[in-house]
Amino acid sequence: MIDIKLIRENPDLVKKNIKKKFQDEKLSLVDEVKTSDSKWRSLKAKADKLRQERNSISKEISEAKKSKDNKKASELLKKAKLIPKKIEYLETQTKALQTEISEIMKKIPNIIHESVPIGKSDKDNVEREKIGVPKKLTFPIKGHAELGESLGVLDFDTSAETSGNGFYYIKGDLALLNQALISYARDFMTSKGYEYVEPPLMIRKKVLDGVYSKAEIDQMSYKVQDEDLYLIATSEHPLIGMFIGRTLNQKELPIKITGYSMCFRKEIGSHGIDEKGIFRTHQFNKQEMIVICKPEDSYKYYDELLNLSKELFKKLKIPIRELESCSADLSDLKAKGADLEAFSPRQKKYFEITSVTNMEAAQARRLGIKFVDKDGQKVFAHTLNNTAIATSRALVAIMENNQTRDGDIKIPAILQKYMGGKKVIESKKPEKPKKKK
């Protein structure tokens, strides 16, 4: 959410930003906010004037009583009794306008960073860097689902019976590889100075309202019946939610946290879920990283988060590329963002594995996260987040890129220590019958 001062002082800048995001249908929202804000300020001024009048009358009543002018004191008391009702009426109106303004402001996109490429859709996202060279596999390439089923380490048929589409059983060495990725990401991030946290798997709506739009909540989040709780869609939300309504000391900044959790998403919308596969599912494991910092430092930490993801996947020896999001592909809270994508030898194209975002002050403004600067002023912090690793997507990349002609999967060297030195996930070979003596 942007600062309302921008709309008061420079509405054309806000409209220009909306046009850069190709959301012309939202241009009228700027004028709506301006009109409502003008009404709000007018009503607030009237209420403030009445409070001053009430204080002034209170002094006059006191003076009248001291001078024993009972008639004047009585007349002033009658006048004073009318003021609270007038103030209450005005406060009711201002609160209604505040709510209206807040809801409209949430629909107005954040001001994008000047470096963001302008584009109408994700097709206009810009490739910034490629890291690693895709292997040339000289045998028929299998997809991860086929590989997993043939090795007996993924079971979609049973999960469809127990839970429906979008779930899976992960077994044996692949389940251990999943845990190896979690341990690897945890150790990698803590070695970089990030505090490790395991957050709650449910959060209240006031936190979701600070990080999601109503449409996103409806499309993504599972609501717990009869409770003010939702299953988390990403560990970023409870991690940043730790600081809701907090005013921090600048000495505490930057705050760097990495957290692991299971995540849950309805995935309603254009993407949907995989009927058989682990790329897009209702439940998955994720290691996240967040930074809360001073505004002047936020793009330094944006680069840091992005480079951490690159380093993490370089060590896995997975071919990746950096794809910067264009203006229209940035969600409304984002000022700048990019995805890392891994190469799929089966599809012969890249697919998303991590996403880095700088929200600048937009998220902090919605969640009320401030810090006291060197001049003693309360200022909204900048917040950033990035996926360290979503293990299911990393598994897809490892399985497809590291498959062998025999249908086995080579385990990346960096993960072998977490698997007791195991180097290959291979199908169980039937035991040869023993020769009779």
Closest CA to 326 of 166, 125, 26, 50: 125
Kindly tell me if the per-residue pLDDT of 196 is higher than 90.
yes
Structure tokens at 419: 């698997």
Structure tokens at 189: 């991030």
User: Which stretches of 234-392 are assigned E, i.e. beta strand?
Assistant: 247-249, 255-264, 283-293, 320-324, 336-344, 349-358, 370-372, 378-380, 382-390
Q: Does the fold of domain 122-425 match that of domain 4-105?
A: no
Yes or no: say if 232 and 259 are a contact pair by the CB < 8 Å rule. no
Give the model confidence (pLDDT) of 385-409 as tens digits. Answer: 999 999 999 999 999 999 999 999 9
User: Which stretches of 136-252 are assigned E, i.e. beta strand?
Assistant: 154-155, 169-170, 195-197, 202-203, 230-231, 247-249
- In whole angstroms, what is the distance from residue 108 CA to residue 6 CA? 12
The better pLDDT of the pair 270, 363 is held by 363
Q: Which helix (H) or strand (E) segment is 82 a member of?
A: helix 70-105
For residue 130, with 0-12 CB atoms within 10 Å meaning exposed, 13-18 middle and 19 or more buried, which class applies?
A: middle
Structure tokens at 283: 């439940």
Yes or no: say if 154 and 145 are a contact pair by the CB < 8 Å rule. yes
pTM, entire model: 0.88
- Residue 275 confidence (pLDDT): 65
Which residues are CB-neighbours of 431 under 8 A, at least 6 positions away?
Answer: none
Closest CA to 287 of 389, 187, 177: 389
To the nearest 5 percent, what fractions of the chain are helix, strand and coil?
45, 20, 35
Helix (H, G, I), strand (E, B) or coil at 426: coil
Report the CATH architecture of 122-425: 2-Layer Sandwich (3.30)
- In whole angstroms, what is the distance from residue 132 CA to residue 421 CA? 25
- In whole angstroms, what is the distance from residue 240 CA to residue 369 CA? 9
Give the model confidence (pLDDT) of 244-291 as tens digits. Answer: 999 999 999 999 999 999 999 987 554 556 668 888 899 999 999 999
Compute the average pLDDT of residues 360-368: 95
Which residues are bridge partners to 293 per DSSP? 382
Domain ranges of the chain: 4-105, 122-425
Give the model confidence (pLDDT) of 347-357 as tens digits. Answer: 899 999 999 99
Structure tokens at 392: 């299911």
Give the model confidence (pLDDT) of 21-75 as tens digits. Answer: 999 999 999 999 999 999 999 999 999 888 888 888 888 888 878 877 777 777 7
What confidence tier does 117 reach under pLDDT thresholds 50, 70, 90?
Answer: very high
Distances in Å between the Cα of 22 and the Cα atoms of 38, 109, 122, 254, 339 are 27, 11, 12, 34, 21
- The verdict on domain 4-105 having CATH code 3.40.50.300 is no
- Using CA atoms of 237, 241, 247, 249 in order, give the dihedral in degrees to the nearest 10: -70
Q: What is the DSSP string of 313-330?
A: HHHHT--EEEEEPPGGGS
Closest CA to 26 of 261, 367, 329, 332: 332
Considering the chain, what percentage of its residues have pLDDT values greater than 70?
A: 96
Lowest-pLDDT range of 147-161, 205-219, 276-290: 205-219
- Residue 77 confidence (pLDDT): 81
Which residues are CB-neighbours of 5 under 8 A, at least 6 positions away?
Answer: none
